[in-house]
Amino acid sequence: MSETFTAQSGSPSGPAFLPPGLLSRLESSGPRYTSYPTADRFVEAHGPEQHTLALAQRARGVGGASGAGSPLSLYVHVPFCESLCYYCACNKIVTKHHERGAEYLDLLDAEIDLWVKGLGGHTAASQVHLGGGTPTFLSDSELTRLVNRLKQAFEWLPQVEASIEVDPRTVDAQRLAHLKALGFNRLSLGIQDFDERVQQAVHRVQSFEQVQALMNSARDLGFQSLNLDLICGLPLQTPESFGRTLQQVIALRPERIALYAYAHLPQRFKAQRRIHTADIPLPEVRLQLHAQAIAAFIEAGYEHIGMDHFALPDDALAQAKRQGRLHRNFQGYTVQPDGDLIGLGVSAISRLGATYCQNAKTIEEYGDALRQHQWPVVRGISLGRDDLVRRATIMALMCQGRLDFQALADAHLIDPKQYFAAELAALAAHQEQGLVELTAHAVEVTPLGWFFIRSIASVFDRFLQMDGAREKFSKII
């Protein structure tokens, strides 16, 4: 962060470094680029056969795969939740029947068996993440069973980053101690907002005191990093109420903060139909809330990692950004080297080299395939040369904030200025707004531009420019 790029929150419309006019001009939707091409471009023609071929290519170290000896990232999707959060757009199953957890673990065992066979034996894991849904829907014994199975199938490296998403309403200090004993060293707590009226409007009530006690327990147990998730733009949020939430979050001093913008898409997500549209903040208020949060976090000493992520200066993510070591995968920003990712469970997405594949989204279809000893893959994509060039370009911007023309030319044997002539011309508008600097050698994202990195990266998205289908995605800020 440059010395001149400071937070000044005296204006009710937000900090001085985020001009209200700029916010409104760039107020649009766009992908989060945990992959390129994005998941909406996956096709059903890419199924189990293509996935098996990608595994074979990984074993031989061809086809853009990382190679058989490279450590993996693991993601396990646990879809169950005890209660419905009205804002949620995740793939989840709302149930109080906890016996379904054991049945689901049986299916995960079957999928893990397929992966072990397909990978050709024991493979190391440098990153493990349990998400959902609510992973802590599973009992302590079920979590033990799952973790032991993962450790049996994939060697957890000594410095493994093992994280789990936690609903504060489903854990206590004793459960946190169990998670620590299993090997988890990072926690992500879903908060969204501490205001009781907002919590009631989205059907997720949890007190500040409850979260504070859990965080104190987690720190006493030695968890390396705690993340809090917040959402701005929820029903009944106001600058005053959200300001109180921001101060409470800052008082808790989590190592990381994720600040998401609520996307109200009731036509796509049934749960959101329970939210009263009239209660949702107007667009100009939502922008004010977002700018307000950015100012508060920066003034409190947090560093902006990218998009909606913030971290304390001594956190691994902040250090990686300063050192140019950030990467991005389906788990978001990570310090892990760029490599293959295995997604386990319903709707989970895997990356193997130049391919992506996604599992069936319903537990019925997922289970049917596994009971027949078949991959539960229902769609995916194999990347062509242009996809690989654009993936490298977008990830360089998203993670390093810099597109080096010579590095791209050396890696992909292209002339970037000629290849991206139209895109570079389109970036002129971003340069005029102070978001990027275009030089003879590179595209450089400015400190201000980091807050609009999705807009900058989307210029290089061939699919998005081709059909302009931005309404599928959340707001870029």
75 is in an annotated binding site: yes
* 17 and 53 together in one domain: no
Residue-level pLDDT at 472: 56
For residue 148 the two structure tokens come to: 């032991």
Residue 430: give its domain's CATH number.
1.10.10.920
* 161 and 260 together in one domain: yes
Residue type at position 99: E
Residue-level pLDDT at 57: 86
For residue 176 the two structure tokens come to: 């946190």
d(CA 387, CA 402): 19
95 φ, ψ (degrees, to nearest 5): -160, 150
* 5 and 52 together in one domain: no
pLDDT tens string for the chain (477 positions)?
A: 333 333 333 333 334 456 656 665 666 667 889 899 999 999 999 999 999 999 988 887 765 545 566 889 999 999 999 999 999 988 899 999 999 999 999 999 999 999 999 998 778 999 999 999 999 999 999 999 999 999 999 999 999 999 999 999 999 999 999 999 999 999 999 999 999 999 999 999 999 999 999 999 999 999 999 999 999 999 999 999 999 999 999 999 999 999 998 989 899 899 999 999 999 999 889 988 988 999 999 999 999 998 889 999 999 999 999 999 999 988 889 998 888 999 999 999 999 999 999 999 999 999 999 999 999 999 999 999 999 999 999 999 999 999 999 999 999 999 999 999 999 999 999 999 999 999 999 999 998 898 889 999 999 999 987 765 555 555 555
- Say if 455 falls within a structural domain: yes
- For 197, what's the count of Cα atoms within 13 Å in the CB-facing half-sphere? 10
Could you give the 3-state DSSP secondary structure of residue 317?
helix
**Residue 349 forms beta bridges with which residues?**
358
Residue 156: give its domain's CATH number.
3.80.30.20
Residue-level pLDDT at 474: 54
d(CA 399, CA 117): 33
Whole-structure pTM value: 0.90
* 13 and 86 together in one domain: no
Task: State the sign of the Cα–Cα–Cα–Cα dihedral 40, 46, 47, 53.
Answer: negative
* 123 and 227 together in one domain: yes
* 222 and 275 together in one domain: yes
Residue-level pLDDT at 31: 85
d(CA 198, CA 404): 45
d(CA 237, CA 239): 7
* 84 and 140 together in one domain: yes
- Say if 366 falls within a structural domain: no
Model pLDDT for residues 91-135, shown as the tens digit of each residue = 899 999 999 999 999 999 999 999 999 998 778 999 999 999 999
89 is in an annotated binding site: yes
Helix, strand, coil in percent for the chain, rounding step 5 = 45, 20, 35
* Domain termination site, one of 341, 356, 391: 341
- Helix ranges (DSSP H) in 231-347: 239-252, 283-299, 316-322
* 121 and 248 together in one domain: yes
128 φ, ψ (degrees, to nearest 5): -135, 130
The total domain count for the chain is 2
* Domain termination site, one of 313, 341, 369: 341
For residues 326 and 333, the answer to whether their CB atoms sit within 8 Å is yes
229 is in an annotated binding site: yes
134 is in an annotated binding site: yes
Residue-level pLDDT at 212: 98
85 is in an annotated binding site: yes
Question: Cβ contacts of residue 459 below 8 Å, gap of 6+?
Answer: 423, 426, 427, 430, 465
Cα–Cα–Cα angle for 262, 341, 376, rounded to 5 degrees: 85
For residues 71 and 157, the answer to whether their CB atoms sit within 8 Å is yes
* 474 and 398 together in one domain: yes
192 is in an annotated binding site: yes
87 is in an annotated binding site: yes
* 313 and 396 together in one domain: no
For residue 200 the two structure tokens come to: 């009631």
349 is in an annotated binding site: yes
* 231 and 245 together in one domain: yes
Model pLDDT for residues 149-205, shown as the tens digit of each residue = 999 999 999 999 999 999 999 999 999 999 999 999 999 999 999 999 999 999 999
Could you give the 3-state DSSP secondary structure of residue 154?
strand
118 is in an annotated binding site: no
* Domain termination site, one of 309, 341, 373: 341
* 100 and 31 together in one domain: no
CB atoms within 10 A of CB 246: 25
- Say if 367 falls within a structural domain: no
90 is in an annotated binding site: no
- Say if 175 falls within a structural domain: yes
Domain that includes residue 194, residue range: 40-341
- Say if 359 falls within a structural domain: no
